[in-house]
Chain A
């Protein structure tokens, strides 16, 4: 089955700095790579996603890159704000098994004012 590795497990930045979270996946058949943000006491919520036919996608301060050859993808957050503080999960979705999402272990991002 799919295996997703995520680094770092914790990340502390100053407000205004950039943050980068990296993930690798094992199943070359995986074709959809979402990123979820989980705030305290809430369920994960999608913030951006990328499909296998695209190398990069940007939405305001958030961008994601995908390297299918190397089987890794990254989340980039620019101009971080305190409200960006949360746990971020990368995930990979395989076409088999009812499109189950396999998650990385999460990155706790702390943005200090």
Chain B
């Protein structure tokens, strides 16, 4: 049973569209994250979400918004997609500080 699952795994869409990526964790963790991995493999934090409180990386455009319907889910909505949004997006979850963060398999977003 997958601990952190993301859907879809691949997403190809046109510039200007709005899309969502879903993330679910079955670990009972309180904290979830979204990371962006660019073409050079650099992993950069986008959002941290804990008990309905959100910490945003100030470099993330406001076209990106996380939505958490419950503790087990943290979805990522992206409006007005741009070519530069093409990347692999990873969801992750964390139970306690100083313990393992579990990552999903990633969603490869391609904007054409």
A10 → chain B, closest Cβ, in Å?
11
Q: Tell whether, in the assembled complex, residue A100 and residue B55 are in contact, meaning their CB atoms are under 8 Å apart.
A: yes
Which stretch, A41-49, A63-71, A77-85, touches the partner chain B? A41-49
Pick the contact of A98 from B31, B41, B90 — CB < 8 Å? B31
Q: Tell whether, in the assembled complex, residue A34 and residue B100 are in contact, meaning their CB atoms are under 8 Å apart.
A: yes
**In the assembled complex, A112 has its CB within 8 A of some CB on chain B:** no
Q: Tell whether, in the assembled complex, residue A32 and residue B97 are in contact, meaning their CB atoms are under 8 Å apart.
A: yes
Write the B70-99 contact mask toward A (1 if CB under 8 angstroms, else 0).
000000000000000000001010100110
B73 → chain A, closest Cβ, in Å?
17
- On chain A, the number of residues with a Cβ less than 8 Å from chain B's Cβ atoms is 27
What CA separation (Å) do A23 and B48 show in the bound complex?
24
For B104, what are the chain A residues with a Cβ–Cβ distance below 8 Å? Answer: 43
**In the assembled complex, A99 has its CB within 8 A of some CB on chain B:** yes
Residues of chain B at the chain A interface (Cβ within 8 Å): 4, 31, 33, 40-45, 48-50, 55, 90, 92, 94, 97-98, 100-101, 103-106
Given known pairs A93-B97, A99-B31, A99-B98, the reply for A45 and B103 (CB within 8 Å) is yes
What CA separation (Å) do A34 and B97 show in the bound complex?
12
Residues of chain A at the chain B interface (Cβ within 8 Å): 31-32, 34, 36, 38, 41-46, 49, 51, 87, 89, 93, 95, 97-103, 105-106, 108
A47 → chain B, closest Cβ, in Å?
10
For A32, what are the chain B residues with a Cβ–Cβ distance below 8 Å? Answer: 97-98
What CA separation (Å) do A93 and B43 show in the bound complex?
14
For A105, what are the chain B residues with a Cβ–Cβ distance below 8 Å? Answer: 40-42
What CA separation (Å) do A53 and B92 show in the bound complex?
26
Q: Tell whether, in the assembled complex, residue A42 and residue B43 are in contact, meaning their CB atoms are under 8 Å apart.
A: no
What CA separation (Å) do A108 and B18 show in the bound complex?
34
What CA separation (Å) do A29 and B90 show in the bound complex?
26
